[in-house]
Every structure is written in structure tokens, then in C-alpha cells.
Amino acid sequence: MRRRAPSPAPRRASAAALLTPLAALLIATPAPAQPVTDAAKAATPAVTAAPAAPAPLAAPQRRSGLDDMSPALQALQREDSQNPGFLAVQDGQALWATAAGAAQKSCASCHGEPARSLAGVAARYPAWDSASGRALNLGGRVNACRLRHQQATPWAVDSSELLALTVLIGLHSRGQPIAPPDDARLAPLRAQGQAIWQQRQGQLNLACAQCHDQRAGQRLGGALIPQGHATGYPAYRLEWQALGSLQRRLRGCLVGVRAQPYAVDAPEWLALEAYLALRAAGMAVETPAVRP
Amino acid sequence: MATRTLIHVPDAPRRGEVVEIRVTLGHPMENGLRPDGYGNVVPRSLVTRFECRLDGTLVAAADLYPAIAANPYLAFWLRAERAGTLAFEWTGDHGFQHRETRPFNVA
């Protein structure tokens, strides 16, 4: 298996990826064990129908990916001494205290102890940054801080350093409800994210909403289709055998519907993230989550 | 970045009690067959051996092979007969070696 595109090569081909696209769609059968929303039931047979405006799931119907994992995998996430995301947390703690850049400042120089200064921070992102006049996700905030205060070079989106710091920051919001800021300046971004969510894409001509709103709880091949709440990123995925960002997860979905992923620094990722945060508002932050 | 581990040793088990020790090593476990994003094969880098000793006495060991996933997680059972220091050691390709110690208290 040789790949030319400069994207992280999957170590194992997933079962769904081995199926032809059409076959994969045809075997997407309902799973009786999983409660399906009324909206999803009504829309099930209409694969060709345009995605309806998403009926936002009421809070009790929303399910984190954690709820549908095997007990062994749930234990892996819940036990800090087993959760492999905590390997990166250790890296994050080291980076937090390491002076960097021309300013030779560390995160700790300004923010002090992470347990005090970071509580609940990750639950609010993406948020508006008045200084630069644009929205930032958590990784973008870390990089803005590096550029502005440490005078260091920003990290790449999927770099182990950025993942380590964002997972450390995310950890200090674990268990807190996702709280997207009530900020009108984020509205256009969220609207753009929602539009992308509902936009059919790729050779399979599928929108995010068709699987994750309308067919969540059913199966695609052997895999359960989750509702797609980004509650635990950066998350450790067994398929990746590594910690990965939400953008990496979304990129995988776009490749899955045979669409060309956006460029790494494209605003579409942030728009999707902002919409997903709104969609998952009130659900508990799980960082570092473990996912199959 | 530095090699990281997650080690769980139960605190002060009763004498004679059988306890579970859990260890995770942060390691890519490259099997030498996988192409990177540009199509170049990533060189093999594997952890091949894990050993746990209680004050020098081997209490658990494992050979690791290419099919084992990254960040290998191992769990084993140990009868708490005496207190001491548990030494965990991983060795692998290209002279990889990592050692951690934890106190093992027995009530």
C-alpha cells in the first residue's frame, strides 16, 4: 500500500475502507439496540434525499461516543493509569514548564499552575480573539500565545507538541459542560459550519448530517455510526494508535466520503469545530477521550 | 520528546493478596512495513522485551512482536508476599532501553 498524498498513513485499513463505497452504503442497516431519534427514523430510507435541516437533538437523546463503546474501552478512557492519552499529558506538563522562543518564557511564566489557570478553559473554545479579530480554536490559541508572547514559531496542527499542550489544557476541563461563548461575532462562523455539515460532499455525495444526524446509531459495516459529538479531542484513537486532533478526525471523515479535504489551515475546519461545539453544548468534556 | 510511561501499582495490598500491575509504554512500535505519508517505508523500531523485577527477582516478562500496537499496554498479576522496589524495563531495537522503578508496599 503506497500513498502519495502527504497525509498520515493509516496503520490498518478499516473494514469499511475495504468495501466498495456502494456496498458500504447498502449494508448500513439499522441496529435495533440503539435508540434512534424520530427524525432519524423518518429519514432512514431516503438515502438520496437532501439532508433536512438538522433537528437538533434534545439533551437526553444526545450520546457521546463513550456511551456506545465496549466496557473495556470505556475503562481504558476512565482509568487515568491506563488511558494512553495521559502519555501526552506528561509531555504537555513538561512543555508547560519549558521556556521557549526569543522571549524565553514558558506557559507557566504567565499562567502559573495549570490546575488553577486552565479550569474550564477548553470547554469555551472555539472563541473570539479580540487581539487578532478572528476566532481561534484551542490549538490556535496556543499558537497565538506562542507567537505573541513567547515569540516562538507556531506548531503544526497535528504536531505532537500542540496535541500534548491542548490535551493538558483539555484535561483541566474534563467533566465540565461544553460552553460555547454567547458571542455574536462567532455566529457567521457557526452558520458556515452548519452549512458545511449539511452540504453533500465527495464522490459518495454525503453530508455529515446524513450519517451523524439522520443515521446515528445505525451501522456502517461493522462500525456504529456515532452522533458525532466532538467531546473528547484531542482523543486517542485505537485506529490511529495515537492521539489526534479534531481536524484529523474530520479529515478522515472527508476522505471517507471521497471528498478532497480542506487545506490544513483552511477556515472550514474552524467553522465545523465552532458548529460542533454549539451542537454539543452542555455535554461533558472528556479529553483525553479514547475512541475505537 | 522523552519516553513516557503509565504505571499502576496498587497502594499497600495485604500480604498474600493478588494484585494487578498495569504498565503502558509510550512507543510507536513501528513494524518496518508501514509507509509514511510520502510513501517511504518507516524504519523498524520495536520494543522486543519487557521485564519486571522485584528487588532483582524476575516476576513478569514478555516478548513483544511486530503485531503489537503502538504504546504497548501490559497487565499482570503479582502475589504481594514482600515489599520492595519494582523495576520495569523495556528493551528494543536500536539499543532502546527504558527503566522505571516504583515502590511496592505491602501492608
pLDDT, tens digit, 9 for 90 and up, residues A144-186: 999 999 999 999 999 999 999 999 999 999 999 999 999 999 9
Contact: A82, B36; criterion CB under 8 Å: no
Give me the active site residues of A, please.
253
User: What pLDDT shows up at residue A58?
Assistant: 58
Contact: A9, B4; criterion CB under 8 Å: no
Closest CA in chain A for residue B31: A11
User: What pLDDT shows up at residue A39?
Assistant: 43
Is B25 part of any domain? yes
Is B24 part of any domain? yes
Contact: B71, A84; criterion CB under 8 Å: yes
In this predicted model, what pLDDT tens digit does every residue of A53-71 receive, in sequence order?
555 555 568 999 999 999 9
Class of domain A34-43+52-79+182-291: mainly alpha
Closest CA in chain B for residue A8: B37
Between CA A283 and CA A59 the distance in angstroms is 8
Between CA A221 and CA A243 the distance in angstroms is 24
Cα-Cα-Cα-Cα dihedral sign, residues A258, A259, A264, A267 = negative
- Distance (Å) from the C-alpha of residue A82 to the closest C-alpha of chain B? 7
**Rounded mean pLDDT of A35-57?**
45
Closest CA in chain B for residue A11: B34
What's the first-to-final CA gap in chain A, in angstroms? 22
Query: Does residue A93 surpass a pLDDT of 70?
Result: yes
Is B65 part of any domain? yes
Is B69 part of any domain? yes
For A17, the enclosing helix (H) or strand (E) is: helix A15-18
The CATH architecture assigned to A86-171 reads: Orthogonal Bundle (1.10)
Is B53 part of any domain? yes
Q: Which of A4, A7, A11 to mutate to test the interface with B (most CBs of B within 10 A)?
A: A11
Contact: A87, B24; criterion CB under 8 Å: yes
User: What pLDDT shows up at residue A55?
Assistant: 55
A71: left (phi over 0), alpha (psi -120 to 50) or beta: alpha
Sequence ranges of the domains in chain A: 34-43+52-79+182-291, 86-171
Between CA A175 and CA A184 the distance in angstroms is 26
Is B47 part of any domain? yes
* Distances A77 to A66, A121, A154, A181, B17 between C-alpha atoms, Å: 8, 21, 29, 27, 27
Helix axes A160-171, A138-145, angle to 10 degrees: 110
B41: left (phi over 0), alpha (psi -120 to 50) or beta: beta
Q: Which of B6, B69, B70 sits opposite A82 (nearest CB)?
A: B6
Range of the domain at B98: 5-32+43-104
Domain of residue B47, CATH code: 2.60.40.10
Is B58 part of any domain? yes
Give the number of domains in chain B. 1
User: What pLDDT shows up at residue A2?
Assistant: 44
Cβ contacts of A85 on chain B, cutoff 8 Å: none
Contact: A3, B73; criterion CB under 8 Å: no
Is B37 part of any domain? no
- Model ipTM? 0.91
Contact A219, A225 (CB under 8 A): yes
| Averaged confidence pLDDT in chain A | 84
Contact: B71, A11; criterion CB under 8 Å: no
User: What pLDDT shows up at residue A46?
Assistant: 40
User: What pLDDT shows up at residue A114?
Assistant: 85
Q: Which of B11, B20, B24, B41 to mutate to test the interface with A (most CBs of A within 10 A)?
A: B24
Query: Does residue A200 surpass a pLDDT of 80?
Result: yes
Q: How wide is the angle at C-alpha A57 spanned by C-alphas A51 and A61, nearest 5°?
A: 130
All residue ranges of chain B with pLDDT < 70 are none
User: What pLDDT shows up at residue A48?
Assistant: 43
Cβ contacts of A161 on chain B, cutoff 8 Å: 1
**Rounded mean pLDDT of A245-256?**
95
Q: Which of B3, B4, B5 to mutate to test the interface with A (most CBs of A within 10 A)?
A: B4
Query: Does residue A13 surpass a pLDDT of 70?
Result: no
Query: Does residue A30 surpass a pLDDT of 80?
Result: no
